Amino acid sequence: MSLCCCSAGSRRLLLPRLFLGQHHRLRRPLLHLRAASTAAAAASSSTASLSPAQQRQVSLYVDALLEWNQRMNLTAITDEAGVMTRHVEDSLAVLPPLERAYTSRGGDVAGISLIDVGSGAGLPGLILAVARPSWKFTLLESMRKRCTFLEHAVEVMELSNVDVVCDRAENVGQSHDFREAFDVAAARAVAELKVLAEYCLPLVRVGGLFVAAKGHDPHEEVRSAKAAVHTLGASMLDLCNVDSVGPHGQRTAVVYLKERTTPKKYPRHPGTPSKTPL
C-alpha cells in the first residue's frame, strides 16, 4: 500500500430483469432548462481545466439536477454553488489518483471502461464522462426514478459515452454481460467499504481497479474491509488524500487492485451483502 497526496455511440437504458421483456425505455420529456452559466464552473480549479464545451455540459447537468431535485430526492444540496463544489469538484478529484494508479500498472488510459456503482444522481460517473470523452461509462442504479433522471441528463448533456443500467449490483455482478467486464469500478457515498467491495469487485476484470471515494479518515473502514477485499480477489493499492470543499477540507480515494478472479458465489443474493457483510 502506498500513501499519496494530490490536490457511446448510442445510449441505452437497461432495465431490471422484471422489465427486460417489455423493451420499454424509461424517458421523460425534456425540461426547459435555465440558461447555462459557465461562470461557476470556470471559477473552480478542476472545472477550469475543462474546455468551454465541457463546462457547458457540466452547467447543463447542474441545471437539470436542481430542476429535478424539486420533484425527487437526488441531493440535499439545493444551490448551484454547492453542487459545483460539493459534487462536481468532488467527482473530478477522483481522476488524478485513478489515472495514476491505472498507468502505474501499465494501463492505457485512452479508452478505460468504468462502471459507477450506485450512481444515484450520476456522481461521479456523469462528471467523469464529461472530463474523459474517450472513456466508456456505465451508470448502475437500482431506483427507476433515478434512472429516469440519469437518462434525461445523458440526453441533455449530449453524452455519447454513457449507458444507464437500472438494476441491483448483486444481480449485475452475476450477469455474464457485466461480470469482470470493466477496467474500473468506482463508487461514491454508497456503503461501507466491506459491503461496497462485494458490489464492485465482481464487476472488475483481473488487473483492473476498484476506486471508492471516502471521507477524510477512512482508516478504520479500510482495516475492517481488508478480509472481505482479499476474499473477493483484491488488495490495497493506494490511499490518496484529495482536496474537497467538505466539512473537513479533504476526502480520500481508496484504490484497490483486482489480482484474482472473484469466487463465483459473490456477490451474494440481493440484500445479503448489506445485512451480512463479509
pLDDT, residue 12, reads 45
Least confident of 55-69, 208-222, 245-259: 245-259
Over residues 178-190, the mean pLDDT reads 94
The packing angle between helices 144-157 and 52-68, to 10°, is 150
Which of 41-55, 128-142, 161-175 comes out lowest in average pLDDT? Answer: 41-55
Residues in the chain: 278
The answer to whether residue 79 sits within a structural domain is no
- The residue ranges of DSSP E strands in the chain, in sequence order, are 2-6, 13-14, 113-117, 136-141, 162-166, 182-188, 204-214, 234-243, 250-258
Evaluate whether residue 39 is within a structural domain: no
80 in a domain, yes or no? no
Is 220 a member of any domain? yes
Q: Which of 48-52, 97-101, 113-117, 150-154 is the least confident region?
A: 48-52
Helix (H, G, I), strand (E, B) or coil at 263: coil
- What φ, ψ does residue 143 adopt, rounded to 5°? -90, 125
Q: Is residue 9 part of a domain?
A: yes
Its domain, for residue 209, covers 2-19+92-275
pLDDT tens, 36-52? 333 333 334 567 789 99
More confident residue, 250 or 234: 234
How many structural domains are present in the chain? 1
CATH number at residue 269: 3.40.50.150
pLDDT band at 168 (very low <50, low <70, confident <90, very high): very high
**Which amino acid, 123?**
L
Q: Which residues contact 28 (CB under 8 A, 6 or more apart)?
A: 148, 149, 152
Is there a contact between 101 and 78 (Cβ–Cβ < 8 Å)?
Answer: no
CA–CA separation, 200 and 63 (whole Å): 30
Task: State residue 244's pLDDT score.
Answer: 64
